[in-house]
Each structure stands twice: as structure tokens, then as C-alpha cells.
Structure 1
Amino acid sequence: MPERRNRMYFFYKHDDELMKRVQPLVNLAKEYGFVVVDDHTKANVIVSIGDDGSFLQAVRQTGFRDDCLYAGISTLSSRGFYCDFQIEDTEHMVQAASSEQIEVRRYPIIEVTIDNAASFFCLNECSIRSGIIKTFVMDVFIDDLHFETFRGDGMIVATPTGSTAYNKSVNGAVVDPLLPCIQVSELASLNNNRYRTLGSSFILSGKRKLTLKISPEGNHYPLIGMDNEALSIRHIEKIDIALSNRVIKTVRLKDNSFWEKVKRTFL
């Protein structure tokens, strides 16, 4: 018999105003038989309170766990892509749970490995940019096949759910999260007789591996964005990016699909 998911951890910014808004949720959780814990490693349900950025932080700071459920509650006037509920609408939460209007959606994540050593996960995207105001050069490989030599500001590698974020702002495609894939989008590529790139976003199957080999000339301080965090690592030679076998399980409303969110947000 599967273990009941009843140990809940609330992830939120601990300021006085927000804590007052969170307390009714804590009381409600206890009323419905949940054990509220202070250590996320002891939880099997992690609830993010804030906005989509808070949800990304909740997933990152709790270790991209695939053995628990994540849920997003918005403190804004509207719901987000990862936040299906609003903090004041506790009645809606109870009604949805009691009438089985909630389902579990599995979102793919990407794994980024730097120089065959350190590995990181991303739920939205990984971006690679120069840390100084200067273009830089990368050789792009798909499954070890040299595809192109890129010179420009950088690249974005996005998951399907991340396709509506940074990726969309550079005219990348919006991708259905039911498709296990990654999308590669350029940032201000320079195309001339020496450097030639595809010039458009392209989508790779989740079974493929993308490798970016960074030219050492003038590229000592690349800036790597992991969702809404940034890393500055010196002297990077190679970045391998692929879809992870791990997924993030999120709680969402049945009547609030990805494409309903896209329509609500952009149309």
C-alpha cells in the first residue's frame, strides 16, 4: 500500500505580512489531517507560496525532489503557470480537493553538466551568456555531431514548461509539456562569412544530448543562468545539457491545463 502523502512543508518568504496570510493555510492543512513540518527533507508535499519565481526557488532549494508533490499558491491577483491556487481562496482549494478536481502533472527538467564534473537541474531553462559586454564563441554539438559554430550573446536551452518564459521573449516556440524535449534558442547570433548558425530555435528529442564547447579566447567569465539564479564559473570548456530522467510532480486543477494558462496569460 502506497504511503499517504500527509507531511507538508510550506516554502515562502518569512516576512510578517506574508506570515499572517500563510497561517490560515497552515491551520487548514492541520484541520484536514496534514502534519506540517519545518524541515523540507521530512515532507512529501511541498507547497510554494508567492509567484512562479517562488515556485522555481522552492523546487531548487528543496533539491528537485521526485519523491514528493509540489504545489503552487499565488499571492498575486492572478494565478501563474506553476500556481494553480490563490492564497485567499481557501474555499476553492478545499472544494477542488474534496471533489477530485486535482490531478498530478509530471514536468520534465534538464540536467546541466559542466566539464564532466558539477551537475545542476533546471525546471525552466539554462542560459549561457558572456559575463562581460562582448560576444563569445561556442561550438554546438548534437549527440557528438558538430552542428554549428555560434558567435553572439549566448543561448537559452529550455524545457517545455520553460518555453513560455525567457525562451518566448526571444521568439522561441511555446511547447506542449507532454512532449519530452528541449528547445535551443539563440541570443543575438552574429552571422557572416566566418560564423554561420541556424538562425532560429530548434527542438531536440529528450533522448538527445546537446554539448556546447566554449572557445577559450576571451571567455573566462561565462554567466550561466539556472532558472532564476545565476552562476559565474571561470574557465568553462564544455557544457552538456540533456533531459533528465527525473521529473517534478506538481498538483494542478483539472480545468487549468497548460494551454488554458497560455491563453489566459498571452491572449
Structure 2
Amino acid sequence: MKIAIFANEGRKSMMISRKLHQKFKDTHFILDNDNPDIVVTVGGDGTLLSAFHQYKNILDKVRFVGVHTGHLGFYTDWRDDEIDDLVISLQSDNGQSVSYPLLDVKVSYMDQLRPETFLALNEATLKRNSATMVTDVYIGGELFEKFRGDGLCISTPTGSTAYNKSLGGAVIHPNLKVLQMTEIGSINNRVFRTLSSPMIIAPNDWVTLYPNRESDYILTVDQNSYHGRQIKQITFKTSKQSIHFAKYRHMQFWQRVQDAFIGAEYAN
């Protein structure tokens, strides 16, 4: 089995990364950062997001395992004091995995003939930098509304627990391969109207935004941001690709949600 270790630059994460590197060498794993079978991330959810984008071109071949070196992350199942158990689990690997859906983002710019494509694990957002964002919102090719406000967030089911949740969106189980669109500071008064509610988009549908032709929009795809160009349209759709996590001790989704937001001591 070929292993890649992807760590953030924190002191504790680098220390755990070095320990893992030695343990993998001692147990005769092949360390391969270019074409791994397993990517072990060391840090938190942000580190795993970075690793996902690093290896997005080989998602059909690679599985992820997360080790957290701080607070429990949503994608990281192993604590930093459990790396011996992790190595033992990898030695008895049988190829099992659990998969989560992803988000395809296609952006057409005014100054470019070919659209750019992105892949998101959590969400993508569109905002305006210094004024109200105005955009036509199409769902499945049909005009739904003219949105006015700070922005829009389109999230995956696992991403529904991230920025989407802070905006008042619903938490969605990843077995439902849907998208969620949540408004950011929408304007609703006697003149302007939006639905003013999160929307769950079916797997075969898609969302297309046609923003007013300004150049101060900010597009985010997970933790990456893009700005400074006139956007013609953006289309969001459930991707045919998925992210795969090695299923050694992968926590059940609602237990993960409980641990992240409620805590066992408050569940009773």
C-alpha cells in the first residue's frame, strides 16, 4: 500500500507527521506523495480540505484518513495519540470505504471563451465585495427569482454542517446526494422579494446564477477564493465524483453531528 502524509504547518501536526512517517517506514509501507492509495491528513478539517484539493485529480483511486491534532474535526476520526492503532488498522486494510458527494462548479467569464471548472467538498459561495449582489437564479434551467442581498451559498450534504449551518441552513445526511442553496443577507421589503428560505436541490437539477455585470464579485470554493473578473454565469450541480474515506472506524454521520455541535454530556 502506498501512503501519503499531508500535514499542516503547526508544531504538533509536524511532530505527529514525523512519527507517522517513521512508523510507516518501520512497517514497510511505501511512502508516495504523488500517487498514493491512502492520504493521511494531520491537522484538522482545513488540512483535509487542502489535501482533497491537492489530490482531486485522482479521487477515484485514493481514500482519505484524518488525524486531528486539535479539537475533533468533522472529517477527522483519529486522535493524535492513536497513531499506533491507525497504523495497525492500515496493515489490515481490506479496501472498504465510505463516500460523500461533491459539488461541481462551472464559471463562465466575460473575457474567456472556455468556462473554468472547480470541485468543492463543503461549499461554494458568491458574494459582492462592496455593494448589494443582484443575480438571476435559475433552477433546472427555469428562472426562479432575482436575488438581492449579500450573497448565496451552495453546499454539499457534508458541507451543510459548515458555513451553510451558520446561515440557518438544514443539516443533510450525505446519503442524500442533493445540493442546498442558502441565502446570505437577502433583501426582502415592499419592493424586492426572495424566497428567504434554504432550498434543497434534487440530484438531477442544477442551479445557475447570472449576476449583474460587475467585476467585484468574490467566488469561494471551499477555502479558496477568486475575484476581480466579470462573471457571465455560474452553474452548480451535484458531481459525478465522490470523496472516499477509509472505513476503519468512520463515525456514523448523526453521531458525528452530535459530537461536533451538542456533545454527549448534553444529549441526555
TM-score (norm 2): 0.88
Unaligned runs of 5+ in 1: 1-5
2:161 pairs, out of 147, 160, 164, with: 164
Q: Aligned-pair distance for 1:88?
A: 2.2
* Separation of aligned partners in 2, 1:168 and 1:244: 21
Change in CA separation of 1:252 and 1:85 when aligned onto 2, cut-off 3 Å:
farther
Change in CA separation of 1:90 and 1:251 when aligned onto 2, cut-off 3 Å:
same
Change in CA separation of 1:47 and 1:64 when aligned onto 2, cut-off 3 Å:
farther
State how 1:148-227 maps to structure 2 within 5 Å: 148-216=145-213, 219-227=214-222
Matched, 1:74 2:68: yes
Q: Aligned-pair distance for 1:252?
A: 4.2
* Separation of aligned partners in 2, 1:255 and 1:45: 15
Q: Aligned-pair distance for 1:182?
A: 0.4
Matched, 1:140 2:140: no
Greater shift, 177-186 or 86-95, is seen at 86-95
**Corresponding position of 1:117:** 115
* Separation of aligned partners in 1, 2:150 and 2:9: 37
Contact in 1 for aligned 2:13/2:43 (Cα 8 Å): no
State how 1:48-87 maps to structure 2 within 5 Å: 48-63=41-56, 65-66=58-59, 67-76=61-70, 78-87=71-80
* Separation of aligned partners in 1, 2:96 and 2:186: 41
Output the aligned Cα RMSD. 2.1
Q: Aligned-pair distance for 1:206?
A: 1.6
Deviations 1:75-106 (A, max 9, x none): 11x43111011122123324555677995111
Q: Aligned-pair distance for 1:26?
A: 1.4
* Separation of aligned partners in 2, 1:117 and 1:170: 29
Q: What one-letter code is carried by the residue in structure 1 that aligns with 2:165?
A: K
Matched, 1:105 2:104: no
Deviations 1:36-81 (A, max 9, x none): 12xx3322211111100110011112235322111111111x4311
Q: What one-letter code is carried by the residue in structure 1 that aligns with 2:207?
A: L
Q: What one-letter code is carried by the residue in structure 1 that aligns with 2:64?
A: Y
* Separation of aligned partners in 1, 2:152 and 2:4: 35
Deviations 1:197-216 (A, max 9, x none): 11100101121111001012
Contact in 2 for aligned 1:11/1:46 (Cα 8 Å): yes
* Separation of aligned partners in 2, 1:49 and 1:235: 37
Unaligned runs of 5+ in 2: 109-113, 263-268
Percentage identity across aligned positions? 30
Q: What one-letter code is carried by the residue in structure 2 that aligns with 1:90?
A: I
Change in CA separation of 1:174 and 1:44 when aligned onto 2, cut-off 3 Å:
same
* Separation of aligned partners in 2, 1:233 and 1:144: 27
* Separation of aligned partners in 2, 1:58 and 1:151: 35
1:44 pairs, out of 26, 32, 37, with: 37
Q: What one-letter code is carried by the residue in structure 2 that aligns with 1:123?
A: L
2:226 pairs, out of 228, 231, 249, with: 231
* Separation of aligned partners in 2, 1:193 and 1:75: 50
Contact in 2 for aligned 1:140/1:150 (Cα 8 Å): yes
**Corresponding position of 1:3:** none
Contact in 1 for aligned 2:77/2:249 (Cα 8 Å): no
**Corresponding position of 2:125:** 127
Deviations 1:123-151 (A, max 9, x none): 0000111122x211010001110011100
Deviations 1:162-199 (A, max 9, x none): 00000000110000011101000000110134421111
Paired residue total:
256
TM-score (norm 1): 0.89
SS in 1 for 2:231: coil
SS in 2 for 1:89: helix
